[in-house]
Amino acid sequence: MAISWEDDGVVLAVRRFGEHDAICTLLTAAHGRTAGMVKGGSGKNGRSLLQPGNHVRAAWRARLDSQLGVYTLESIRAFAAEALSSPAALSGVAALCAMAEAALPEREPHDEVYRQCLHLLEHIGAAGWDAHYVLWELCLLRDMGYGLDLGSCAATGVTEDLAYVSPRSGRAVSRAAAAPYLKQVLRLPAFLKDEAADLAVTAEEIAQGLALTGHFFDLHVFAPHGRRAPAARQRFLERFLE
């Protein structure tokens, strides 16, 4: 008896499979990051549908749960096409999809990561989008069990003037407590301390936020498996270092 399910998802990555087909990885609402073969996915119509960032309705079917499975996909919204007019937005979408593809375990639901991913795609290019992307990376770390503790100082317990983060524990450090260790600690941009705050932040603060989350992705997710963060994320970060 075949196994099947239907779910909404975001296209994360696509690779050619044979002459006409493709292997597509989706971040789905209820089934997590799941791959499947798309018949005709390498054709003209398939290529337009299978662009990273696109929102689709997916039907997945396989004879056994352990098999790759076959996808039948229908478009819900072509976010990738909407981002084409803005190189900055396109870079952000590429980073978003590449990080979800590289970091998330296969077939493990991450409801909040998916919800925030879709929210980002629905607001491509809006004011504060870049800051919200950094908040999404914090959510991704938290959902994978590597959340940062930014509520109080690791050394003194105070909740005021938190300006740095310990690179080992992931806990915030006050400006005074960090003073002897400024070469070791990571900067904590103000917008990450209050996620409800106005997100009109500077490029320097975005770069600091990406450096912060990037450190912990490398520490916990990529380096232990001999991997590096996706190149698309590095290109996105470089936009804020110019």
Inform me whether the pLDDT recorded for 93 exceeds 60: yes
pLDDT at 95 over 80: yes
Q: Are residues 220 and 118 in the same domain?
A: yes
Question: Residue 198: its pLDDT value, please?
Answer: 56
The pLDDT of residue 49 is 95
Q: What is the mean pLDDT of residues 145-152?
A: 96
- Clarify whether residues 14 and 95 are in a common domain: no
> Same domain, yes or no, for 108 and 13?
no
Instruction: Indicate whether 22 and 125 sit together in one domain.
Output: no
- Would residue 19 count as lying in a domain? yes
Q: Residue 20: CA atoms inside 13 Å, Cβ hemisphere, count? A: 3
Domain range enclosing 131: 85-150+188-238
Question: What phi and psi, each to the nearest 5 degrees, are found at residue 115?
Answer: -60, -45
Of 57, 78, 99, the position where a domain reaches its end is 78
Question: Which residue did the predictor score with more confidence, 211 or 193?
Answer: 211
Question: Based on the domain organization, do 92 and 134 belong to the same domain?
Answer: yes
Domain match, 63 and 146 both? no
Q: Are residues 71 and 134 in the same domain?
A: no
User: Which pLDDT does position 199 carry in this prediction?
Assistant: 60
| Residue 233, token pair as written in the block | 């994320």
**Contacts with 106 (C-beta within 8 Å, 6 or more apart), sequence order:** 32, 33, 34, 35
Residue 65 forms part of a structural domain: yes
The string of pLDDT tens digits covering residues 3-59 is 999 999 999 999 999 889 999 999 999 999 999 999 999 887 788 999 999 999 999
What are the start-end ranges of the E strands in 64-223? 70-77, 162-165, 172-174, 186-187
At 195 the pLDDT is 58
Whether the predicted pLDDT of 217 surpasses 70: yes
Q: Determine, yes or no, domain membership for 174.
A: no
pLDDT at residue 114, rounded to an integer? 98
Our count of domains for the chain comes to 2
pTM of the model: 0.94
Query: Distance between CA 73 and CA 58 in Å, rounded?
Result: 5
Q: Specify whether 50 is located in the same domain as 119.
A: no
End residue of a domain, out of 48, 78, 108: 78
